[in-house]
Structure 1
Amino acid sequence: MGTIAERLKIALKTITKSVCEANRPANSVKLLAVTKTKPVSDIVQAYEAGHRLFGENYVQEGVDKIQQLREFDDIQWHFIGPLQSNKTRLVAENFDWVHSIDRLKIAQRLNDQRSAHKKLNVCIQVNIDNEASKAGVPPEEVNLLAEQISNMPNLTLRGLMTIPRVQQNAEMQRDSLSAMNALFVQLQTKYPQIDTLSMGMSNDMQLAIECGSTMVRIGSAIFGSRQ
């Protein structure tokens, strides 16, 4: 499979190729390396290869890694998993980004528990296909939650995140991804700081980029399959 550095390089090349094929500007899509269940040593390998954006799904595991890697102070830590209200303080105090805000209560707690000297970047998680098994706000509730978050002094609304349904064919998948992009573009007209559409993983990364993603979340393709 090659080293982590080699697989990271392949992932970045795939992103660059997909961006070019979609006729989008160079460097318009960032790679978030997802390190859940992976050891700190894997993160260090990716860091030494030049990567700085890392995503964690589990609160305590993520906080432990952040604390172990304090010396690497230019890492940007993204929390991308489901967030319960009793865990918001740990996230507010340790992470740079949260992708998974799906209700007002979580946003308010993060705001109240975040240090005022540095704002927390946040994305609203959207349940674009209205799946009962998935978190996220319905598309029709995005505008209201965005307005509420925009009034919170310790949060900066940066965009939207989604995990779309795995569809039977590419056209159906494209419909979901395009609907997310439409929501994203609509929000940008009202909130000029919005610049992030977090969508696309290993299985749909290229299609997500075609449909406007600005950040793809890649784990196993870089770090290997999870235990």
Structure 2
Amino acid sequence: MTIDDIPTRLGQVQDRLRAACERAGRAPDSVALIAVSKKQPAEAIRAAYRAGQRVFGESYLQEALDKITELSDLDIEWHFIGRIQSNKTRQIASHFDWVHGLSDPDHARRLNDQRPPEAPPLDVCLQINLSGEDSKSGIAAEQASELLAVCDSLPRLRVRGLMTLPAPSDDEDAQRIPFRALRALRDALTTADRRLECLSMGMSDDLEAAVLEGATHVRIGTAVFGPRPYN
């Protein structure tokens, strides 16, 4: 596996997405591919960019900031998909277009207050912990309304939808269960004044199940970039 393989691997993922959309009776452009580039070098991101990819996800802030600076000549849409820490909210608010994984009212207020005034509102997805695993970030489904109410009062944040990271499974039917639950929760929380159109769910091993249950954003790392890091 080399950086030269990235365009081929990216094409294979796009083929999987198209096939999944066809199975679901959905338009191919209804699902955005977030290429998760954490622990990958900047040249790997450039290779994917040259192959047409424009949306990238990072989880480790300092590593991400270095790459954002190095790749500032490219029109990349940057998504922060890692664990949020209070001492890092200013940099996240300043350098990213999206945040997947908001689960703390204090973090929401900090991101709002620290978002640069010249930037558009920060797009966020609330992270829902559907499995109840202590090792996973996110709030319980029954806490979502309370966090949404906090975010509704913050003009520099724009809640776009929900995100989840379910327990892994090799069975597609089992994979679909938490994705279906997230979609149902999103639908229940959507109102005329608050349209939650986004479902950030699905990774390399379960993107088909996620698309079948309505994913609008899939977060794909290994299938695009291969093992990390490169030699």
Per-residue deviation, 1:191: 4.6
Structure 2 partner of 1:77? 78
2:58 to 56, 59, 66: 56
Amino acid at match of 1:149: C
In the TM superposition, what are the counterparts of 1:61-210 in structure 2 within 5 Å?
Answer: 61-72=63-74, 74-117=75-118, 118-167=120-169, 169-210=171-212
The 3-state SS of whatever aligns with 1:174 is helix
Counterpart AA for 1:185: D
How far apart are 1:177 and its partner, in Å? 1.2
Q: Deviations over 1:150-209 (max 9, x none)?
A: 220111111111100124643332221110110122233355442210000011110011
Aligned partner of residue 86 in structure 1, secondary structure: helix
Q: Secondary structure at the match of 2:116?
A: coil
When the two structures are aligned, how many residues end up with a matched partner?
A: 226
Using the size of structure 1 for normalisation, the TM-score is: 0.95
What CA deviation, in whole Å up to 9, does each residue of 1:5-55 have, x standing for no partner?
111111111101100101123311110000000000000111111110000
Shifted more, 182-191 versus 130-139: the winner is 182-191
SS of the residue aligned with 1:3?
Answer: helix
Contact kept in structure 1, 2:103 and 2:127, CA below 8 Å: yes
Query: Aligned letter for 2:111?
Result: L
Report SS of the residue matched to 1:99: strand
Partner of 2:12: 10
Percent identity over paired residues: 44
Confirm whether residue 20 of structure 1 aligns to residue 26 of structure 2.
no
In 1, the alpha carbon distance for the partners of 2:26 and 2:124 equals 24
In structure 2, distance between residues paired with 1:78 and 1:39: 17
How has the CA–CA distance of structure 1 residues 169 and 11 changed in structure 2, closer, same or farther, with 3 Å as cutoff?
closer
Asked if the contact 2:172/2:206 (under 8 Å) is kept, the reply is: no
Counterpart residue identity of residue 24, structure 1: R
CA separation in 2, counterparts of 1:174 and 1:7?
A: 24
| 2:201 counterpart letter in structure 1 | M
Classify 1:178/1:195 alpha carbon distance in 2 versus 1 (closer, same or farther; 3 Å).
same
Q: Deviations over 1:106-144 (max 9, x none)?
A: 111100100123211111011011111110010001111
Letter in 2 for 1:97: W
Contact 2:99–2:122 (8 Å) recurs in 1: yes
Residue type matched to 1:188 in 2?
A: T
Give TM-score, length-normalised by structure 2. 0.93
Contact residue 202 and residue 211 of structure 2 kept, 8 A:
yes
Q: Residue 3 of structure 1: CA displacement?
A: 1.6
Query: What is the Cα-based RMSD across aligned positions, in Å?
Result: 1.4
